[in-house]
């Protein structure tokens, strides 16, 4: 792996150094962890204070453009960087659906069937017919066809 640092900016507001670099590699694209270790060694910084934001590969070449942030302290890193797994503003929460076992599904169907039977029994006791849902089908009406003569 070879790194060519293209741009290095000091961001005093966020207490970090922003590094844009071009990474030349061979074989598969290196992971963010590999890039983090390599660049922190190259910049002689602590790997714990280094965050790799982007590794964008160039199609057909073994090159990648990398964006790395190197923070000045652990407190600054924790304050600025989002926590893993934390929701972003405006992001919808993911609904966690519990997978039901086939046995539970069968039990639910049985319970629904029992409730239907109870309603039918009550209706028979009152002397009424049980309520049934009718499906309404819409038929397309075709008007008389006119032929131009």
Number of structural domains (the chain) is 1
Selected residue with higher pLDDT from 119 and 7: 7
Least confident window among 71-80, 81-90, 107-116: 107-116
Rounded to two decimals, what is the model's pTM?
0.55
pLDDT in tens, 131-146: 554 444 444 455 555 5
The reply to whether 57 falls in a domain is yes
Residue (of 78, 76, 1, 75) closest to 40 by Cα position: 1
pLDDT of 135 reads 44
Q: In Å, how far from its chain's centre is CA 22?
A: 28
Which CATH number goes with the domain that contains 28? Answer: 3.30.70.330
Q: How far is CA 54 from CA 21, 68, 98, in A?
A: 10, 7, 34
The reply to whether 63 falls in a domain is yes
The reply to whether 62 falls in a domain is yes
130: which DSSP letter? P
Domain that holds residue 65: 2-80
């Amino acid at each position: 792996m070879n790194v060519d640092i293209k741009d290095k900016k000091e961001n005093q507001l966020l207490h970090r150094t922003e590094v844009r670099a071009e990474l030349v590699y061979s074989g598969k694209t290196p992971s963010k962890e590999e890039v983090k270790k390599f660049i922190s060694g190259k910049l002689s910084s602590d790997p714990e204070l280094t965050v790799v934001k982007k590794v964008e590969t160039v199609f057909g070449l073994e090159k990648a453009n990398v964006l790395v942030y190197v923070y000045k302290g652990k407190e600054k890193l924790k304050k600025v960087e989002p926590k893993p797994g934390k929701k972003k503003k405006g992001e919808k929460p993911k609904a966690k659906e519990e997978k039901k076992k086939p046995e539970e599904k069968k039990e639910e169907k049985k319970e629904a069937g029992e409730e239907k039977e109870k309603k039918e029994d009550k209706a028979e006791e009152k002397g009424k017919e049980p309520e049934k849902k009718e499906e309404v089908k819409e038929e397309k009406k075709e008007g008389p066809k006119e032929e131009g003569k």
